[in-house]
Structures are given as structure tokens and as C-alpha cells.
């Protein structure tokens, strides 16, 4: 039994350099999680002042959010290019097993979201978070940029940020704490804007994201490949978008 545990722990081999971890945690993470929405809002206001757009405020915000997401993706790819190259080589060698792991992740995330939603409702919260409600509202008005961000750009950015940088950095020091801190950071990133705006009760909505974050961490660790969690994340968001658009 002890040997089996050692083999499982040794299977995960992803590592970042000290420079990658430092830049990721001290520069890119705050830029994305804390200042991202503020930068997008500032750009939107500046654009509305400088240019005579016929786009609505919601449409402009949605397009700028997509642009900011692409910018973050470029920065993450540049920072993690060696790490991504190694992950991609392994993915191409084991496409079938990693893709299956991604599909399993998608199923487990839905189960995690369901359990998280039950916890939220037991605590007196709404079944839908303010973050999800906002996404659904934008989808109904300006679907194209939101679909591109939610299904393609967002999952890659979030997996590289939370699993690629935070989890990989912390796991070398303490495996269990890596799971907990990464999942908490993932959850807070989705609810902190509502909390700061005064909706403190929104804190209970962290549970579905926290449980989903644990699943994404497990998918990444057990497959030893970031593309497994990316596939699961994309699948989860794709289904959520389709349900919001057609049901």
C-alpha cells in the first residue's frame, strides 16, 4: 500500500522554475484576478469617451473582456512556453487516455457543481451565483464574444493560472494545501467582485467553484497533463453556455 502511494505521488512530474512561479503568482495572478475587471471597465469607459461606438455598454464590455482574456492567454503562454511544450508532447503521445480523463473531469465537475449548489441552498443562498447570472444576461444580448471567452479563452487562462501556476508551485511543498489553496483561489476569483460591490451574502456561492476546483486539480495531477483539466473545463463551460442559450 505504501509503495502504491509513493508511485502515485511520483507520477506527477510537472514543475515550474522559480522565476515562472514568482512572475505567475506576483504579477499575472493579481493582474487577472484582482485588476482584470477594473482594467476592462476602465478601457470600456475610455473607449466610449474617445470613440463614437454604436455598441451598447454590455456589448462593448463583453468584447473588451474577450480582448483582455486573449492578452492574459498570450502572457501565460509566453511565461509557460517550456512547460506547455512538455505537456503538449505528452498529450500527443497519450491523446486517448488524456482525452478520456478530460471527459471524466467534465462529468465529475457537474457532480461537484450539483453538490456545491445543494450546500449553497442549505445555507440560504440562491441556486445561481451573481457571476453565472451575469454571464447568462450577456449571452442573451451579445452571445458571440461571451461564447468565445467562456468556451475557448477562459478555460485555458484559468487552468494555466490556477492549476498550471498555483497548484504546480504549491504541490512541491504540500500536496493537500495545494488542493485547498488552489480551489479556494479559483472560487474567490468567481465571487469576489460581487462581495466587494456589497453583496456579502454571495460568499456562499464559493462552494460550487471550490468543489469544481478540487476536481480540476485532481484531473491535472492524476493525468500529469494540464490538457486533461482544460478539456474538462471547456466541456463544462460549453454545456453551461448551451443550456443558457437554449433552455
Q: Round to whole Å and give the CA distance between 41 and 32.
A: 13
246/103 Cα distance (integer angstroms)? 22
The answer to whether residue 1 is domain-embedded is: no
Confirm whether 10 is domain-assigned.
no
8 Å CB contact between 218 and 93: no
Q: What is the dihedral of CA 179, 191, 73, 52, to 10 degrees?
A: 180
- Write out pLDDT tens, residues 107-129: 999 999 999 999 999 999 888 88
Position 35 scores a pLDDT of 72
Does residue 4 lie within any of the structural domains? no
Q: Is residue 9 part of a domain?
A: no
Torsion of Cα atoms, 124 then 125 then 128 then 134, to 10°: 150
Residue among 243, 226, 204 at smallest CA distance from 110: 243
- Per residue in 51-91, pLDDT tens? 555 667 778 778 888 989 999 999 999 999 999 999 999 99
**Structural domain contains residue 5:** no
Whole-prediction pTM: 0.91
- Is 141 part of a structural domain of the chain? yes
Query: Residue 192 contacts by C-beta under 8 Å, 6 or more apart in sequence?
Result: 33
Residue 132 covered by a domain? yes
Does the structure show a pLDDT above 60 at 7?
Answer: no
The domain of 200 spans 17-246
Q: Taking the CA of residue 28 as centre, how many other CA atoms within 13 Å lie in the half-sphere pointing to its CB? A: 26
Total domains present in the chain: 1
Q: How far is CA 204 from CA 134, 213, 217, in A?
A: 17, 15, 21
188 and 197 in contact (C-beta within 8 Å)?
Answer: no
Residue 6 lies in a domain: no
Residue 221's pLDDT is 98
Amino acid at each position: 500500500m505504501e509503495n502504491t502511494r509513493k508511485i502515485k505521488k511520483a507520477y506527477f512530474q510537472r514543475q515550474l522554475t522559480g522565476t515562472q512561479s514568482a512572475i505567475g503568482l506576483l504579477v499575472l495572478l493579481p493582474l487577472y484576478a484582482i485588476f482584470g475587471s477594473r482594467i476592462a471597465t476602465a478601457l470600456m469607459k475610455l473607449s466610449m469617451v474617445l470613440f463614437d461606438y454604436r455598441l451598447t455598454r454590455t456589448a462593448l464590455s463583453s468584447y473588451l473582456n474577450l480582448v483582455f482574456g486573449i492578452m492574459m492567454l498570450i502572457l501565460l503562454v509566453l511565461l509557460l512556453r517550456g512547460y506547455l511544450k512538455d505537456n503538449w508532447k505528452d498529450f500527443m503521445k497519450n491523446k486517448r487516455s488524456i482525452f478520456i480523463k478530460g471527459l471524466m473531469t467534465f462529468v465529475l465537475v457537474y457532480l461537484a457543481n450539483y453538490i456545491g449548489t445543494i450546500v449553497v441552498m442549505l445555507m440560504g443562498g440562491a441556486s445561481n451565483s451573481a457571476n453565472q447570472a451575469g454571464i447568462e444576461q450577456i449571452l442573451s444580448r451579445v452571445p458571440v464574444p461571451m461564447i468565445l471567452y467562456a468556451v475557448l479563452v477562459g478555460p485555458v487562462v484559468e487552468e494555466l493560472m490556477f492549476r498550471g501556476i498555483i497548484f504546480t508551485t504549491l504541490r512541491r511543498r504540500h500536496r493537500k494545501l495545494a488542493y485547498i489553496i488552489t480551489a479556494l483561489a479559483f472560487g474567490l476569483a468567481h465571487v469576489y467582485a460581487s462581495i466587494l460591490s456589497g453583496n456579502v451574502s454571495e460568499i456562499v456561492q464559493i462552494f460550487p467553484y471550490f468543489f469544481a476546483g478540487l476536481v480540476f486539480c485532481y484531473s491535472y495531477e492524476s493525468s500529469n497533463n494540464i490538457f486533461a483539466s482544460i478539456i474538462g473545463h471547456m466541456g463544462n463551460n460549453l454545456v453551461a453556455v448551451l443550456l443558457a442559450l437554449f433552455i
